[in-house]
A and B are shown apart, each in its own frame.
Chain A
């Protein structure tokens, strides 16, 4: 690791040689441009956060720009009292966890099955799955299919759609093939069946690739909002994302609701919060899990891309 870093260092000029004044100027420009872009990527999240914790009147008038004023965290508890938000958060969490686990299990099992040479009509089975990547019939036929299955307004759809991903299946298959069969063969000699071999040998060995798949899937599940809008029109199964979107689109309606005191908590008390407060707070609640896990999972993100890009 150390050595690699040192190697990387040599890419830029001036390490081995002298740096001309032109190089210095170029360096300064590069540093500033990248700094500005990084700032532009980071600042909106900071802006959301300081607005969600600042004095609500100041926020409403757009006075909070760089530093929070009148810091309080009441908005977070107040927002949770607004009907539906707690429930939406729960639905978001459940669909992310269950959806990710199902996807990783089914997809990796499929990848393992495809890696086995003895699979009955292996080539056909493989193509049968791969073709689905190219088979795009369009939104409406898919919608009609879901409807005829009775999955409209049915939260099962959240976790059941896309449990086998052909692309991820290929990743697992390639990975299983790359680790070789000797371990598995020794298990066969010990009399282990497919289930045991898959759960005891393949899954532990595939941890790196499974972690990448899981992280990408979890982010995808958490961020999904179109499926709620398309398939859950009755509003009973809102996720955080779709609820936030609803509030954004009905910003004025929300403001009126709050003004009239229509929004009551469970105790029947009026929730005192401004529309802007709701917006900022809800947005930050929705984005926070991603920001929280991001530093930790960052390496998986990078690894995931490289699995896809280099393996082929």
Chain B
């Protein structure tokens, strides 16, 4: 969603510039020299002082430098992928190995096995999430069916809370409820049944994708529904009234009025979900990671973290990161184009 809006914003921004440019001849009243005056914002004004635009630039310069250091300078770090970097040494003292780390990813059998595993986990979790991201939409549709406004507001407010707590807290809650020796669930079950064998629901590697999806949904469902809710409140009420007069029931109104109004937004979010297929993020998974569940939990992002920061295999994990970035960038471009085309076709957004 971030990228989607930003792309739109950017487009809006450029339109803004164009409009202004068209205005220039009018305001100047010297339309003929405009083409020659390409450099609209010079450094100096005619009387030799610093132009306001350049002064503004100088004021923002520290921030531009900051951005260079923190966002552009890391690009230089990509070269670690082409060396055999051993941490205490300087990079220049290490062997230059070219594309060896990249070819290793596919030729070295042990590596290959790991890569297949983490790619499978990444895609599995992402596809599960994308396939089920209609849930916030349905949540919003049915939430708006609640007629007691206070109850509806209360539900909405409470279900949004989990979105604002950290994954550490969520893990702590999960630990309190589901861990084998401390978990509430095991406590209750063993109180009911004396022969109950305590199960480590958290460490158990089976159904990990679904479990992580469930935590993500618990956290994000109420929040994800807000966009849909505000779209629903934007629907013209006359449509519903007209439908009522025509004898439409509740579900018919949901099906033929509410749903069509939400579908475009849903499709945009769905497409953007594909842009993030390969980036799972580390926060969420790192909190839940144990040595037991790594097999089914470790994604590409987490693998890079574990191998790089955890075990010091900086060069190899940089190489994995480069491949991941390239694939992600391609996906993002495609998704951006698809959703842009879709939005323009609909004209809704």
Contacts and interface: CB of A to CB of B under 8 A. Distances in A.
A95 B128 CA distance: 36
A283 to B, nearest CB: 4
A248 B250 contact: no
20 contacts: A11-B237, A14-B147, A23-B250, A41-B222, A44-B177, A109-B60, A116-B56, A118-B53, A119-B41, A128-B64, A136-B325, A137-B77, A138-B321, A144-B74, A177-B16, A230-B309, A241-B169, A244-B169, A283-B176, A312-B5
B286 interface: yes
A42 to B, nearest CB: 5
Interface string A203-237: 00000000000000001001111100110000000
Contacts of B321: 137-141
Contact of A142 (B51, B74, B223): B74
Contacts of B171: 245, 248
A21 interface: no
A71 interface: no
Given A167-B6, A298-B157, A136 B230 contact: no
B143 interface: yes
Given A41-B162, A140-B321, A225-B167, A279 B176 contact: yes
B155 A38 contact: yes
A170 B184 contact: no
Contact of B66 (A42, A164, A280, A298): A164
B159 A41 contact: yes
Given A135-B71, A241-B166, 15 more contacts: A13-B250, A34-B142, A62-B186, A123-B17, A125-B64, A130-B6, A133-B2, A136-B279, A139-B309, A145-B69, A174-B12, A222-B166, A244-B172, A305-B227, A306-B226
Given A34-B142, A245-B171, A9 B147 contact: yes
Interface class of chain A by DSSP: helix
B70 A145 contact: yes
Given A141-B74, A244-B168, A14 B250 contact: yes
Contacts of B266: none
A76 interface: no
Given A241-B168, A283-B169, A141 B80 contact: yes
Given A113-B56, A143-B308, A42 B161 contact: yes
A106 interface: yes
B114 interface: no
Contacts of B237: 7, 10-11
Interface in A113-168: 113, 116-123, 125-126, 128-130, 132-145, 149, 161-164, 166-167
B6 A219 contact: no
B211 to A, nearest CB: 15
A189 interface: no
Interface in B291-349: 301, 304-305, 308-309, 314, 317-318, 321-322, 324-325, 328-329, 332, 349
Going nearest first, the 4 A-B pairs with the smallest beta carbon separation are A141-B77, A138-B321, A62-B187, A312-B8
B176 A47 contact: yes
